[in-house]
Structure 1
Amino acid sequence: MDKNSQTDKRSNILMAAVKVLTSKGYYSSTMDDIVDESKMSKGAIYHYFSSKKDVYLAVIDMWESQTQQLLAPAAKEESSAEAIKKLFKLLAKQLKIDGSFFNCLPTLWAIARHDEDFKKSMQKVYNRFQKLVELIILKGIKNKEFSNLRPENSKTSALSLILNFEGIFWFNIFNSKYVDAEKYIDEVSSYILNAYTLKKGDKHA
């Protein structure tokens, strides 16, 4: 079996697992559910994974890899303000293309509270995301774009931004009819950037 074929089969299993995790949750789902959803044989599934826990941990690894690739263009922006705007837009774009993974995030967070392996995997994802955001913020401070921020507060600022990014995910989970996701993105990113850049005595636009 060639490497591309193995990669495709593994990806098929993981995407099937995302659907099962979203619809049935972790504790109510089984390897048989993943087998049925993937349309592959049980032997093929067990060739790659020994348990449903292994499958779902691999889902987190896949998400981390895809997220890093997705957000990489934002880090290349010369302006930190533009980089933050792009982060919001890239996440929103992915949500529209395929929001299936965002739907199972609450389940993964819940598992991570009780399982150390899931906790470590989820923490790894968030640590890398936080580091990316923090580097963008530090660059903005250095370039004097973010006049209201200080280097020693960059971690707190990054965490605050990440909480706002997560607000985008809830649009997909609850299918909000009251607030447009694009409008939310524009307003929140503008509000945050105003807070970072407004000087004393200035007023919000």
Structure 2
Amino acid sequence: MVRTVNEQEYAERRNAILDVTQQLVDTKGYEQMAIQDILDTLQISKGAFYHYFNSKADLLFALVERWGDRIEQIVLPIVQDPNLSALDKFARYFSQVNQFKLEHKQMAFALMRVWYADENAIVRHKIYMIQVKRLVPLLTQIISQGVEEGIFKTPYPEQAARMMITLMNDLGYAFAAFHFEEGMISESPQIARIAAATVDGLERVLGAQSGCLQESWREALSQW
């Protein structure tokens, strides 16, 4: 007889697997972690594991989705705050997302290592699509508000939001490459120039006054 598991039990067991996966990624790294490590930690069978996830890659996507959920919970109150200007919202958006990543630094670096590996182009594309789904609607709201306030000039808020994600991902490539090859990001003049150029690009995409986003980005960069 097939056992029926209700939705709450399913979610709890699935999250338990993800919790252990994140711990293992933090301590061993994604590449070194094996599904058997998860089975051993939770004392579950392969059949039980595959009831929730089809593969190791599925675990990664699920972790990114869960990160997206948590970041959305952090950012949504900022986006919906009627007392903040669009520039204030962007400053808080960058600050809060950066703080979340700092609090989960080992996981962030583990994801970078997977994301930017040459053999993981499909994984990288899927994670990009998760970003688009999660972040474009939130960024579009802020950009649209900025257009109404007269501080942004773009006639295409949604497309500008997508371009912002592309620019930030390109900066992520530079961060990852430098970190894995050299070390401290904040001590690199080259990274500082790339970051400044990225912010300049963001301001141009938004049609914003030059320098209006620089301060919040410098503060975020210094923490890495």
Give the TM-score taking structure 1 as reference length.
0.66
Per-residue deviation, 1:136? 1.4
Residue 17 of structure 1 pairs with residue 18 of structure 2:
no
- 1:6 maps to 10
Residue 150 of structure 1 pairs with residue 162 of structure 2:
no
* Equivalent position SS for 2:208: helix
What do residues 109-164 of structure 1 show as CA deviations (whole Å, max 9, x unaligned)?
A: 13685453x24431222213244224312320221123xx4324834762477359
- 2:109 maps to 103
Distance 1:165 1:115 in 2: 17
Relative distance call for 1:120 and 1:95 in structure 2 (3 A) is closer
Count residues in correspondence.
Answer: 187
In the TM superposition, 1:63-82 aligns within 5 A as: 63-78=67-82, 79-82=85-88
Distance 1:56 1:73 in 2: 27
* Equivalent position SS for 2:51: helix
Q: Which amino acid aligns with 1:197?
A: Q
Per-residue deviation, 1:91? 1.3
Per-residue deviation, 1:94? 1.7
What do residues 83-105 of structure 1 show as CA deviations (whole Å, max 9, x unaligned)?
A: 10111221133234433431222
Give the TM-score taking structure 2 as reference length.
0.61
Relative distance call for 1:156 and 1:59 in structure 2 (3 A) is closer
Identity of aligned residues (%): 17
**RMSD of Structure 2 on Structure 1 (CA):** 4.1
Stretches of 4+ aligned residues off by more than 6 angstroms = 190-193
Distance 2:57 2:80 in 1: 36
What do residues 53-85 of structure 1 show as CA deviations (whole Å, max 9, x unaligned)?
A: 332232222222222222212211341111101
Please tell me whether the aligned partners of residues 112 and 119 of structure 1 are also in contact (alpha carbons under 8 angstroms).
no
Structure 1 gap segments, 5+ residues each: none
Distance 2:169 2:121 in 1: 23
- 1:126 maps to 131
* Equivalent position SS for 2:116: helix
